[in-house]
Amino acid sequence: MKLRSIIFTLITLAFFACNHSPTGDDGYDLWIKYHSIADQQKLASYNNLITSIAVPGTSATSTIIKTELQRGLNDLFGREITVVADDTSDQLLVVGTQEQSDIIKQYTDKAVLDTLGSDGFILKSVQNQNKHLIIIAANTDVGLLYGSYHLLRLVQTNSNLANLRFISKPKIQYRLLDHWDNLDRTVERGYAGRSLWKWDELPNILDPRYTDYARANASLGINGSVINNVNANPRILLPEYLKKVAALADVFRPYGIRIFLSINFSSPISAEFGIESSRRGGIGDLSTSDPSDPAVQQWWKDKAKEIYDLIPDFGGFLVKANSEGMPGPQEYGKNHADGANMLADALAPYNGIVMWRAFVYTPDTDPDRAKRAYKEFVPLDGKFRSNVFVQAKNGPIDFQSREPVQPLFGAMPKTPLMLELQITQEYLGHSTHLVYLAPMWKEYFEFDTYAEGEGTTLGKIIDGSAQRYHMTGIAGVTNIGDDRNWTGHFFGQANWYAFGRLAWDYTLSAGQLADEWIRMSLTSDNKVVETVKTMMLGSWEACIDYMTPLGLHHIMQEGFHYGPQPDFDDARIDWTSVYYHRADSIGLGFDRSSTGSDAVGQYFSPLREQFDNINTCPEKYLLWFHHVPWDFKMKSGRIMWDELCYKYDSGIEYVDRMVATWASLNGKVDPAIYAHVAAKLKQQRTDAGIWHDTCVNYFQTFSKRPIPSFK
C-alpha cells in the first residue's frame, strides 16, 4: 500500500474523530476568560486591595482599558468594580501616565519611566496611611493597556498583589503575527478553518472577532499583524482592498496593533503582458518590476502614499522574493538588497519597514539546500537600507521538528535580522497533535552561536544586544483561523499564548508560560495544573521521537506535510525525502561535515568543530550533520539502528502516557474541552503509530537489522 494512501486514510479519520464534542466551553474566550476566583482566601485579599478603578485618560485606548478592567475584575471578583476619579477611594487601582494623574506622578520616578519606551509599564502597590493604591504607570496609553492586561493575568493566576513591584518592557521592538491568509479566505498551512478576514463584507461590516483577535494579541503584547500570505496576491494593493485593510487597521489601532502587508514584487506589471497569475503580478501598468527602473520606483512610491493616506500608522511590507516561484529582483540581474532597498525608499518617508525573507534556496547556489540562504545573504551584509529587516526562519531548512539554528544569525552584524518562528504546526501534526512549542522556541533562544564569543545566544542577537541592532523584530506564522476555538486544537492556543509572551520576554520559562496558560484557560486546581503542565512540557520532544529523531528531517508527506513519506523521490530533488535522509546499506543521515557539504563551516567556532566531529556532535543533530553507520555506538551504548528504533518507541510511549494522563482528568476539566482533547489524543496515538511503523520498516530495508524490542 502506497504511503500517501495510508496518509489519506489517516487524515480522513482525523477529520471525523476530532470535530465533535458535547456542549460546554468552546474555547472561544482563550486565556481571557476571567472565571471567578475559587480560592476564597485569595479573593478576600484582592477585595481588600481593589474596590474601584481610575483611568483618567480620554483616548480610545483608555476606554478599552476601563472596559477591560471592569469586565475582568467584575467577573474575577464576582462583584461590581466602580470607575471613579483617582483620589476618591481607599482601595484604588489607578491607571495612567504622569501627565494624566497626580497620583501616578507622585508615586513613580520619571527617570525609570524614561527607560521603558512606548510599550513598557510599571505595576506598583502603595500603602499611604489608610489608603491602599495599586498603580499602573506608563509613558503611553498602549503601555497602560499592556500593564492592565498583566495585572489581570496576575489576578487570574492567583498571584500576590500586596507588595507589588514589577517593571517590564519588551526585549523586542516589532512583535508580529504573520498570517498566511489568501483573498479567497483559504489559509496556506492553516488548520483551524478559513481566514478570519471576511473580504466580501469589509469594509462595511466588521466581524466582532476582529476586536476579540485584537484583545487577545494586546493581552500578550503583540503589536503587529501581517494579514495576508507571503505568497502574495497583488490584488491586496488594489484600492478596493486597501480600504478593507484600512477598516481592519482602525479596529486594531487602539489595541496597539499595526497592520502590515505581504506584497508581490511583480505588482507593478500590467496584466496585458500575459502575467496574470497571483504569483507573477498584474495590477500595474508597467512591463517590468526591475528595481533599478525609475518608473518602477515611482510606482511603489505612489502606492506607499496611497496606503499611508488611508492607514497613517501602516507598518510596512513583508516580501517573499525569488523563492518557490515568487518573483524578485534576481530576474532582472539584481540582488536581494537592490529589491529591498527600492521598497524601503518608498516607505522611508512614513517610517515604514521592509521585512525581506531569507527563505531562499535556489539549487544553483549550492547542492546543499541548508547552505543557500547564508551564501546569498551574508555577502550583502551592510548593503540594506536602515529600515530593512532580513527575516530568517529559526533553522536553515523549513520549520522542521528540530533544526540547528540558521547560521545567518550572528553572521550579519550590520543588518537587523528578524526571527521567524512557526506557531502553526505545519510539520508537527497540524491541529490534531498536542505539541507545546515553547520548549522548542526556548532551545533556539538559548542556542549559543558564539558569533561574538561565548554567550552570544540567538536571543541576544534578536534583541539587538549582541550586535547593536538599531531595530529588533520577531514574527510568528500564526495558527489562527475562524474555527470557534481559533486554533483548531484547544492546546494550540497555548502556542499562540507562548509566542506572544516570549516575543515580549524570551527569558520566561516554558514551564511558567504553560502554568499561566493552564490557569487562565483551563483550571486553577493546582494538581490538575501540574499534571497538564508536565504533559505539555514533554510533548515536543515526544513528537520529534515518533517523527524525526536524532536529526532526521524533511521525511513528511508530499505537499500536505502531515504524515510520513520517507520513500518520496518523485519531485524536484530538494523537495524529496530521500535527498535528506540518504539511507543506504552503510547508514543514515546527510553528511554536512567538512568532508561532506561543509555546512558546518557556516557556524562559528567552536560550534563548527563540535558539529564536524561525529563523536562530539550532539545526538539531537547527529543525522543532520553526519551520514552515520548503522552500527555506530551511541552514548546510550546502543548502536545507531537500535537507538533510532528506541526513539521511535519512546515517542509512542509518551503519547500513550498523554492519553492516560488526560483520561485521569475526566470530570476535573470542562467536559467539552475534555472530549475535544481526548478525541485529538486518540488520533495522535494512531498517527504516531503510523509514523513509527512506516519509518522503522522503511529504514530497516537499508539497515538489514532486526527491529529491537524494548519492552
Confidence of residue 16 (pLDDT cuts 50, 70, 90): very low
CA distance 625 to 599: 8
Residues 452/218, Cβ–Cβ less than 8 Å: no
pLDDT of residue 23: 64
pLDDT at 269 over 70: yes
pLDDT at 49 over 70: yes
pTM of the model: 0.96
Residue 384 neighbours by CB distance under 10 Å:
23
pLDDT of residue 92: 92
pLDDT tens, residue by residue, 188-215: 999 999 999 999 999 999 999 999 999 9
For residue 443, the SS3 value is helix
CA distance 458 to 473: 12
pLDDT tens, residue by residue, 545-557: 999 999 999 999 9
Mean pLDDT estimate for the chain: 95
Look at strands 131-138 and 121-128 and give their pairing. Answer: antiparallel
- 567 vs 84, 207, 222, 384, 558, CA distance in Å? 68, 45, 41, 42, 10
Confidence of residue 280 (pLDDT cuts 50, 70, 90): low
Ordered by where they begin, the domains of the chain are: 3-26+542-703 (3.90.1330.10), 40-168 (3.30.379.10), 174-506 (3.20.20.80)
Confidence of residue 276 (pLDDT cuts 50, 70, 90): very low
Confidence of residue 273 (pLDDT cuts 50, 70, 90): low
pLDDT at 5 over 90: no
pLDDT-above-90 percentage for the chain: 92
Helix axes 539-547, 526-537, angle to 10 degrees: 30
pLDDT of residue 20: 39
CA atoms within 13 A on the CB side of 592: 29
For residue 302, indicate whether it is catalytic.
no
Find the farthest-apart pair of alpha carbons in the chain and give their distance in angstroms, rounded. Answer: 81
Residues 304/350, Cβ–Cβ less than 8 Å: yes
For residue 331, indicate whether it is catalytic.
no
Which of 25, 178, 426, 483 is labelled catalytic?
Answer: 426
Q: Cell 519588551 identifies what position?
A: 170
pLDDT tens, residue by residue, 563-594: 999 999 999 999 999 999 999 999 999 999 99
CA distance 205 to 228: 19
- 243 vs 202, 306, 307, 309, 500, CA distance in Å? 8, 10, 9, 11, 28
CA distance 170 to 312: 24
Rounded to the nearest 5°, which phi and psi values hold at 475?
-135, 145
pLDDT of residue 14: 43
Which of 313, 398, 443, 656 is labelled catalytic?
Answer: 398
pLDDT tens, residue by residue, 104-144: 999 999 999 999 999 999 999 998 777 889 999 999 999 99
Strand ranges inside 358-422, DSSP E:
388-393, 417-422
CA distance 415 to 252: 29
**Residue 689 CA to its chain's centroid (Å):** 28
For residue 172, the SS3 value is coil
Amino acid identity at 487: T
Output b/e per residue, 351-383; b: 16+ Cβ within 10 A. Answer: ebbbbbbbbbbeeeebebbbbbbbebbeebbeb
Three-state helix/strand/coil letters over 140-156: CHHHHHHHHHHHHHHHH
For residue 398, indicate whether it is catalytic.
yes
All 3 cell numbers of residue 613?
566531529
Which of 80, 201, 324, 446 is labelled catalytic?
Answer: 324
pLDDT of residue 1: 36
pLDDT tens, residue by residue, 648-697: 999 999 999 999 999 999 999 999 999 999 999 999 999 999 999 999 99
pLDDT-above-70 percentage for the chain: 95
Of 9-13, 163-167, 555-559, give the lowest mean pLDDT range. Answer: 9-13
Of 38-42, 392-396, 450-454, 586-590, give the lowest mean pLDDT range. Answer: 38-42
CA distance 466 to 450: 10
Residues 106/65, Cβ–Cβ less than 8 Å: no
pLDDT of residue 8: 37
Confidence of residue 344 (pLDDT cuts 50, 70, 90): very high
pLDDT at 315 over 70: yes
pLDDT at 417 over 70: yes
Taking alpha carbons only, the member of 353, 263, 346 closest to residue 314 is 353
DSSP one-letter code for 416:
P
